[in-house]
Amino acid sequence: SHKLCMIPGPIEFHEDVLNAMATPATSHIDPGFISTFGETLEGLRAVVGTKAGQPFVVAGSGTFSWDLAMANVVEPGDKALVVSTGLFGDRMVDCLKVFGADVQVLRPEQLGGVPSTEVIKQALAQDSFKLITVTHVDTSTGVLVDVQQVANTVRQVSPQTLVAVDGVCSVAAEELLMDDWGVDLVMTASQKALGCPPGLAVVVASARALDAWKQRSAPVPSYYGAWARWLPVMQAYESRKPMYFATPAVQLIMALHVGIKQLLARGMPKVYAAHRQTSDQFKRTIQVLGLETLPLTESVAAHSMTAIYYPTGITAPDLLPRLSQRGIIAAGGVHPVMAPKYFRIGHMGLTALEPERQYVTKTEDALKASLQEAGYHLTE
């Protein structure tokens, strides 16, 4: 029988999302599909809080959303400031370098922290950066960055710098108001809080990000990822007209359409509140079990997932197979140095939104039983 996929993405799917994919072959220029795609793009704007931002939805995983943003915005020699709170921030450095950026990285003093506003302010004041990137939730550490505060700091100190957010593990789980906060690039993917199977990369670009692309002098070093090829396609679908550059992932877009409709029917403020409540409940249980989480303080702890240290004497092979036997799939650590010391649970999308939170409760019960079976002495 199906084991609950409680990793930080892919997550459990709503049956309506899955049914949307169980459709007969459909042309990518079928009138019905054209409206589905058009509504999906309109819905994405509402999810990330922008009126004029330009969404791009292209087949690829979350990593491709980085290429789809950076290949178009970054030119060789551009200075980029990366706020890295884990593995995905460090990978962003590699990605930016591929496109020729001159990268400066800010890391917290200790893993589980976030570089302070003061440190970010100083770095911004000392050089002229084309863009700053932050990982909203770094899935390797479960650390949440206050994107609004970073964007405010940028506006005060270096208003011309573009603010780029890796929202792969946060969009539709953590509040994000692109226009109000002044965010220029949001990069995300279908398989996390948007509630769909993996396979779609999503970028939403502000007018400023589009201007940076229009004003670039170096050619865009990508064929499939070039905005010049995708922008007319996205505009065509939104105006309910057919247009082809490369075949869209028709069934995945049908699934994303349902996922987004479900989110918007509930309303984003309620979606964010549900993620907070679910996360609070889960983290309370972790605390009651006497376990510690990787983020150094509550204020930098994500609401989409939790990274938890194994207690002394318990290792991954003691715990993860026992959870699996109880029907719960959890994820190990992924940070290069810390990986063997912690595991991760995702509680976003459906798992946060279903009213009884039964998936999370089942996970808590399985965790308790598995720890006890592994010889851990509960402090309760």
Q: Which residues are annotated as a binding site for substrate?
A: 344
Nearer to ligand PMP, 191 or 278 (CB): 191
The sign of the dihedral angle between the CA atoms of 240, 241, 242, 246 is negative
Closest to 81 measured CA to CA, from 139, 154, 138, 145: 154
Q: Which of 4, 111, 168, 205 binds ligand PMP (CB under 6 A)?
A: 168
Q: How far is the CB of 354 from ligand PMP (least distance, A)?
A: 22
Q: How far is the CB of 8 from ligand PMP (least distance, A)?
A: 7
Return d(Cα 182, Cα 134) in angstroms, integer: 13
Return d(Cα 352, Cα 367) in angstroms, integer: 18
Q: Do residues 59 and 251 touch, judged by C-beta distance below 8 A? A: no
Return d(Cα 311, Cα 378) in angstroms, integer: 10
Return d(Cα 44, Cα 171) in angstroms, integer: 10
Nearer to ligand PMP, 200 or 323 (CB): 200
Asked whether position 84 contacts ligand PMP by CB under 6 A, the answer is: no
Nearer to ligand PMP, 53 or 86 (CB): 86
Q: Do residues 284 and 304 touch, judged by C-beta distance below 8 A? A: no
Select from 19-27, 165-173, 248-256, 371-379 the region that touches ligand PMP (CB under 6 A).
165-173
**Burial classification of residue 140, based on how many CB atoms lie within 10 Å of its CB (0-12 exposed, 13-18 middle, 19 or more buried):** buried
Strands (E), the chain: 4-5, 54-59, 79-83, 102-106, 131-135, 137-138, 143-144, 162-166, 185-189, 200-205, 305-309, 328-329, 331-332, 342-346
Q: How far is the CB of 305 from ligand PMP (least distance, A)?
A: 9
Nearer to ligand PMP, 147 or 189 (CB): 189
**Structure tokens given for 311:** 């207690």
**Contacts with ligand PMP in 174-203 (CB under 6 A)?**
189, 198
Q: How far is the CB of 160 from ligand PMP (least distance, A)?
A: 26
The sign of the dihedral angle between the CA atoms of 366, 138, 164, 216 is negative
**Contacts with ligand PMP in 104-143 (CB under 6 A)?**
135, 138-139
**Contacts with ligand PMP in 22-81 (CB under 6 A)?**
61-63
Task: Please count the residues of this chain forming the interface with ligand PMP, following the rule CB under 6 A.
Answer: 13
Q: How far is the CB of 156 from ligand PMP (least distance, A)?
A: 26
Rama region for 280: left / alpha / beta (φ>0; ψ in -120 to 50; rest): alpha
Closest to 198 measured CA to CA, from 255, 127, 246, 283: 255
Q: Do residues 226 and 70 touch, judged by C-beta distance below 8 A? A: no
Nearer to ligand PMP, 81 or 186 (CB): 186
Q: Which of 114, 169, 291, 331 binds ligand PMP (CB under 6 A)?
A: 169
Please give the residue whose beta carbon sits closest to ligand PMP in the complex. Answer: 62
Q: How far is the CB of 204 from ligand PMP (least distance, A)?
A: 15
Nearer to ligand PMP, 65 or 278 (CB): 65
Block residue for tokens 């930016």: 96
Select from 161-169, 218-226, 296-304, 364-372 the region that touches ligand PMP (CB under 6 A).
161-169
Nearer to ligand PMP, 198 or 221 (CB): 198
Nearer to ligand PMP, 135 or 206 (CB): 135
**Contacts with ligand PMP in 218-257 (CB under 6 A)?**
none
- DSSP-derived letter for residue 339 is G
Asked whether position 166 contacts ligand PMP by CB under 6 A, the answer is: yes
Return d(Cα 309, Cα 345) in angstroms, integer: 11
Block residue for tokens 């791009």: 56
Return d(Cα 130, Cα 128) in angstroms, integer: 7
Q: How far is the CB of 35 from ligand PMP (least distance, A)?
A: 27
Q: How far is the CB of 173 from ligand PMP (least distance, A)?
A: 11
Q: Do residues 278 and 338 touch, judged by C-beta distance below 8 A? A: no
Nearer to ligand PMP, 188 or 285 (CB): 188
Select from 18-26, 166-174, 225-233, 347-355 the region that touches ligand PMP (CB under 6 A).
166-174
> Site residues (CB under 6 A) for ligand PMP?
9, 61-63, 88, 135, 138-139, 166, 168-169, 189, 198
